[in-house]
């Protein structure tokens, strides 16, 4: 009986040894754990603001007030923008255009569609928010009929209704100053 106990003890000891050997072998066969991630410090990156894309109206106004172009071109550009405005804003009767402040507000988004045609910081607008000509004078916007606006620049003397005025009819044709 004692011999059987010794034999069982040896078998048990061999089994424990075999298990320990297998456990050690599995640990050795496992790949090493990946290195801990390296902390990346934020750099002092300079992020430049992305300039907004110009609207279609702003593209039309590109070069507004350029001394290399004839001054009447500024009024023609405004006329094209106004034509586009009336083709987009169908129900302008809720916000009728009665003059320069109304037109300026409508182009900045105060219109039934709430669409911004020209951003507030565009050079077409003066400090008071009105549409200005290349000499800094407010453009005279005269409604002649629904959706028909005559435009007048005061010209270099900056006085409206003088001989150097530039006048554009609602049809876009230049008229003599009166």
The DSSP code sequence of 71-139 is THHHHHHHHHHHHHHHHH-S-GGGS---SHHHHHHHHTT-STT---SS-TTSTTB-TTSSBB-TTSPBP
Spatial contact of 122 and 61, defined as CB atoms under 8 Å apart: yes
Average pLDDT over residues 148-165: 96
Percent of the chain with pLDDT over 70: 94
- The candidate with the shortest Cα–Cα distance to 174, out of 150, 155, 142, 138, is 150
Examine the pLDDT at 170 and tell me if it is beyond 70: yes
Average pLDDT over residues 124-152: 95
- The candidate with the shortest Cα–Cα distance to 130, out of 156, 101, 150, is 101
Q: Residue 150 corresponds to which tokens in the numbers above?
A: 């005559």
- The candidate with the shortest Cα–Cα distance to 100, out of 60, 146, 131, is 131
Examine the pLDDT at 68 and tell me if it is beyond 80: yes
- What's the pLDDT at 97? 93
Examine the pLDDT at 29 and tell me if it is beyond 70: no
- The candidate with the shortest Cα–Cα distance to 104, out of 128, 71, 135, is 128
Mean pLDDT (the chain, rounded): 89
Examine the pLDDT at 28 and tell me if it is beyond 80: no
The alpha carbon of residue 53 and the mean position of all alpha carbons in its chain are separated, in whole angstroms, by 5
Q: How many CA atoms lie within 13 A of 83 on its CB side?
A: 12
Examine the pLDDT at 67 and tell me if it is beyond 70: yes
Examine the pLDDT at 123 and tell me if it is beyond 80: yes
- What's the pLDDT at 18? 79
Average pLDDT over residues 163-167: 96
Percent helix, strand, coil in the chain, to 5, is 35, 10, 55
pTM of the predicted protein model: 0.70
């Amino acid at each position: 009986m004692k011999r059987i106990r010794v034999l069982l003890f040896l078998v048990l000891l061999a089994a424990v040894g075999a298990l320990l050997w297998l456990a050690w072998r599995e640990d050795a066969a496992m790949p090493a754990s990946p290195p801990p991630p390296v902390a990346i410090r934020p750099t002092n990156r300079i992020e430049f603001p992305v300039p907004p894309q110009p609207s279609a109206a702003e593209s039309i106004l590109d070069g507004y007030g350029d001394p290399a172009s004839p001054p009447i071109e500024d009024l023609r550009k405004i006329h094209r923008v106004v034509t586009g405005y009336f083709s987009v804003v169908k129900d302008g009767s809720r916000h009728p255009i009665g003059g320069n402040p109304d037109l300026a507000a409508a182009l900045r988004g105060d219109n039934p569609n709430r669409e911004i045609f020209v951003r507030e910081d565009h050079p077409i607008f003066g400090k008071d928010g009105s549409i200005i000509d290349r000499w800094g004078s407010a453009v005279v916007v005269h409604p002649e009929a629904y959706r028909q606006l005559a435009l007048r620049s005061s010209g270099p003397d900056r006085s409206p209704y003088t001989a150097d005025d530039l006048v554009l009819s609602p049809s876009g044709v230049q008229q003599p100053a009166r």
